[in-house]
C-alpha cells in the first residue's frame, strides 16, 4: 500500500513525489512517456536551449562593433537540434536519479485510475491512499478549411523534431509559445508571419508590454496581423481575415494547450469543466483524489505546477488549508530582450476601478544596458502607497528582475519597503529600484516628471 500514487512525472508530479518522500510518505510515480514531462522534454528546456544558440549566433553576427571579428559565420540547424535533445536527455537522466534517491517507486507505463484507491497499468494494480492527477497538457490542434498536406500543419512538439528549417512559417497565436518561436525562426533567417485573433500581441500582457512587443517584431522584420484568423488554406496559400493571402511553407499552431484528461478520470465522475475542477486545496469532488499543474487550469506554467505540488503535499500532511494566488505567479517570455510580468495589468486595474500610481523607467537609463548594448525596454510599476499591484518588464535579465518583485509581493511589502533596498551598480536590477522611486518622482536617472494617480 502506498500513501500517494501520482500519475504524471512532469514538474507537478515529480515535485509532489519528492516533497511527499521528504515528509516520510511512501510514493509511487507513474509516467507513460518521459520523466520531466512537457517542460523538460518538449517545452521550457529545449526551446531555451535553442534560444541560447540563436542569441549566440546573432551576437556573433554583430560582434565587430565589440571589437571581435567573426568571418564566414554560419549555423548548423541539425546541430542546434541535436544539442537541445542532448540537454534534455542529460537533465532527464539526472532527474530520474534524483527521484530514485528518495526511494520513490517509478513505473514507466501508462496508468489509469480504476477506483478511488487503485491505480492500474500493464504491470499490475497498485493500492494507494491518495491519488494525484498531474497529467499536464498538450498542444491544441485545429482543422482548417481547404486543401493541404498533413505535414503542412506543425505543433510546438513538431518543431523540436525538424531537421531542416522551412523558408517561411506562419504562426497562429502570439502568446509565449508563438512569440518565442517567432523570435527563434526569425533570428535564423526564416520569413515569419504571426496572426493573432485578439487585438494585440501577447494578448494577456500589460498593454505597454504588448505595444513594445509590436515594435520589437517590426524591428526584427516579423510580419504580424492582429484580430485575424486563418480562413482558408489552398496548398501553401493561406487566406486570413480580410482576404489577405500569405504564401508559406508551414503553419505552426501556437494558440494554446489543452489538459490531458483520460477516460479513467471521466469514469470516476470527477467534475470537469475543460479542466479538472478542484478546491483551494487542489482536491476534486472525490476526497482522496487531487489534481495539480496544467490539468487544473489554474496557471499553465511549470513553476506554478511545482508550487501547487508543494502546497498540496503540505495539505495532505498537515491538513492546513492552502490558498494558491495566481497573481503571485511570475510569467516570462524568453528571447532578446525578455519580458516578465507579475500581478495586475493596467487594464485589469482600470476594469476593477482601482486607483493606482504608475511609473515607467526606461532601461536605456542604465549604464549596464549601454555597456552590454541592451538598451531596449522598460520597467513598469503599478502600485499605491501601501501595495504593489503589478510589475511588467521588458529587459535583458527580465526573468531574474521579476523574481525580486515576486518576493516583495508575496511578503506584502509596500513600495517604501523596497525603497530602502540598496541595488548593485551597474546592474539591470537598478531599474526596479529606480522604478519604485519614480512612483514619487524620486528616480535619479530620468528627467523630472510628475506622477499622478490613475483611475477609471
Does a structural domain hold residue 448? no
CA angle 63–65–69, rounded 5-degree value: 45
> Which positions ≥6 away from 273 have C-beta within 8 Å?
none
Does a structural domain hold residue 449? no
Confidence of residue 450 (pLDDT cuts 50, 70, 90): low
CA distances from 170 to 211, 236, 239, 251, 455 (A): 21, 10, 11, 5, 39
What pLDDT score was predicted for residue 150? 86
Q: Which of 347, 301, 338 minimizes the C-alpha distance to 198?
A: 347
Tell which of 194, 226, 252 closes a domain.
252
106 exposed, middle or buried (CB, 10 Å; 0-12, 13-18, 19+)? middle
- Which positions are catalytic? 425
Does a structural domain hold residue 218? yes
Distance of CA 354 to the CA centre of its chain: 27
How much is the CA Rg of the chain, to the nearest whole Å?
24
Residues 262 and 248 in one domain: no
pTM over 0.85: yes
| pLDDT of 456 strictly over 50 | no
What pLDDT score was predicted for residue 451? 57
Residues 410 and 425 in one domain: yes
Residues 23 and 117 in one domain: yes
Residues 178 and 219 in one domain: yes
| pLDDT of 453 strictly over 70 | no
Does a structural domain hold residue 453? no
DSSP state at residue 414: -
Tell which of 252, 272, 298 closes a domain.
252
Tell which of 217, 252, 287 closes a domain.
252
CA–CA distance, 447 with 388 (Å, rounded to integer): 23
Question: 148-152, 186-190, 413-417: which range is least confident on average?
Answer: 148-152
Q: Mind listing the pLDDT tens digit for each residue in 333-365?
A: 999 999 999 999 999 999 999 999 999 999 999
Does a structural domain hold residue 62? yes
Residues 286 and 237 in one domain: no
Summary mean pLDDT of the chain: 95
| CATH code at position 119 | 3.50.50.60
CA–CA distance, 157 with 176 (Å, rounded to integer): 15
- Name the phi and psi angles at 37, rounded to 5: 65, -160
Residues 28 and 85 in one domain: yes
| pLDDT of 189 strictly over 70 | yes
Does a structural domain hold residue 290? yes
H or E element in which residue 159 lies? helix 156-159
Does a structural domain hold residue 450? no
Q: What is the mean pLDDT of residues 185-201?
A: 97
Residues 80 and 102 in one domain: yes
Q: Mind listing the pLDDT tens digit for each residue in 236-284?
A: 999 999 999 999 999 999 988 899 999 999 899 999 999 999 999 999 9
Q: Which of 108, 434, 135 minimizes the C-alpha distance to 292?
A: 135
SS3 label, residue 339: strand
Q: Which domain holds residue 67?
A: 2-138+258-324
Residues 50 and 111 in one domain: yes
| CATH code at position 383 | 3.30.390.30
What pLDDT score was predicted for residue 455? 60
Cell of 296: 487544473
What pLDDT score was predicted for residue 454? 73
CA–CA distance, 104 with 93 (Å, rounded to integer): 15
Does a structural domain hold residue 447? no
Q: Mind listing the pLDDT tens digit for each residue in 331-341?
A: 999 999 999 99
Residues 266 and 128 in one domain: yes
**How far does the chain reach from its first CA to its final CA, in angstroms?**
58
Residues 16 and 131 in one domain: yes
Q: Which of 283, 233, 282, 265 minimizes the C-alpha distance to 274?
A: 265
Q: Mind listing the pLDDT tens digit for each residue in 28-66?
A: 999 999 999 999 999 999 999 999 999 999 999 999 999
Residues 191 and 277 in one domain: no
Into how many domains does the chain fold?
Answer: 3
3-state helix, strand, coil in the chain (%, to 5): 35, 25, 40
Residues 84 and 204 in one domain: no
Confidence of residue 143 (pLDDT cuts 50, 70, 90): confident
Amino acid at each position: 500500500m502506498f500513501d500517494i500514487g501520482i500519475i504524471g512525472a512532469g514538474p507537478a508530479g515529480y515535485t509532489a513525489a519528492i516533497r511527499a518522500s521528504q515528509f516520510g510518505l511512501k510514493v509511487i510515480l507513474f509516467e507513460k512517456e518521459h520523466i520531466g514531462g512537457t517542460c523538460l522534454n518538449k517545452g521550457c528546456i529545449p526551446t531555451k536551449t535553442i534560444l541560447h544558440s540563436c542569441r549566440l549566433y546573432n551576437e556573433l553576427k554583430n560582434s565587430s562593433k565589440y571589437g571581435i571579428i567573426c568571418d564566414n559565420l554560419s549555423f548548423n540547424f541539425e546541430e542546434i537540434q541535436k544539442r537541445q535533445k542532448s540537454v534534455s536527455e542529460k537533465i532527464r537522466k539526472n532527474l530520474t536519479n534524483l527521484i530514485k534517491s528518495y526511494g520513490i517507486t517509478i513505473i514507466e507505463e501508462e496508468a489509469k485510475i480504476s477506483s478511488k484507491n487503485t491505480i492500474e497499468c500493464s504491470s499490475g494494480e497498485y493500492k494507494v491512499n491518495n491519488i494525484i492527477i498531474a497529467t499536464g497538457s498538450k498542444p491544441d490542434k485545429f482543422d482548417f478549411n481547404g486543401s493541404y498536406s498533413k505535414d503542412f500543419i506543425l505543433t510546438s512538439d513538431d518543431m523540436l523534431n525538424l531537421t531542416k528549417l522551412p523558408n517561411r512559417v506562419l504562426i497562429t497565436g502570439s502568446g509565449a509559445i508563438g512569440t518565442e518561436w517567432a523570435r527563434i525562426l526569425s533570428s535564423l533567417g526564416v520569413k515569419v508571419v504571426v496572426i493573432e485573433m485578439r487585438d494585440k500581441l501577447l494578448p494577456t500582457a500589460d498593454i505597454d508590454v504588448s505595444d513594445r512587443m509590436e515594435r520589437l517584431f517590426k524591428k526584427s522584420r516579423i510580419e504580424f496581423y492582429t484580430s485575424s484568423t486563418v480562413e482558408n488554406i489552398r496548398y501553401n496559400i493561406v487566406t486570413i481575415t480580410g482576404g489577405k493571402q500569405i504564401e508559406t511553407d508551414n503553419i505552426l499552431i501556437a494558440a494554446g494547450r489543452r489538459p490531458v484528461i483520460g477516460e479513467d478520470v471521466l469514469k470516476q465522475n470527477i467534475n470537469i469543466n475543460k479542466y479538472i475542477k478542484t478546491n483551494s486545496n487542489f482536491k476534486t469532488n472525490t476526497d482522496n483524489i487531487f489534481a495539480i499543474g496544467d490539468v487544473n487550469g489554474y496557471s499553465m506554467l511549470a513553476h506554478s505546477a511545482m508550487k501547487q505540488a508543494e502546497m498540496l503535499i503540505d495539505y495532505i500532511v498537515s491538513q492546513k488549508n492552502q490558498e494558491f494566488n495566481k497573481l503571485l505567479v511570475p510569467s516570462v517570455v524568453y528571447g532578446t530582450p525578455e519580458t516578465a510580468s507579475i500581478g495586475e495589468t493596467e487594464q485589469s486595474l482600470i476594469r476593477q476601478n482601482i486607483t493606482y500610481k504608475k511609473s515607467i523607467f526606461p532601461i536605456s537609463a542604465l549604464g549596464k544596458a549601454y555597456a552590454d548594448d541592451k538598451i531596449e525596454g522598460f520597467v513598469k510599476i503599478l502600485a499605491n502607497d501601501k501595495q504593489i499591484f503589478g510589475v511588467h518588464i521588458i529587459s535583458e535579465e527580465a526573468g531574474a528582475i521579476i523574481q525580486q518583485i515576486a518576493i516583495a509581493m508575496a511578503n506584502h511589502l509596500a513600495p517604501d519597503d523596497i525603497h530602502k533596498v540598496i541595488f548593485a551598480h551597474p546592474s539591470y536590477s537598478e531599474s526596479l529600484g529606480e522604478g519604485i522611486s519614480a512612483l514619487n518622482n524620486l528616480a535619479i536617472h530620468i528627467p523630472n516628471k510628475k506622477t499622478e494617480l490613475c483611475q477609471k
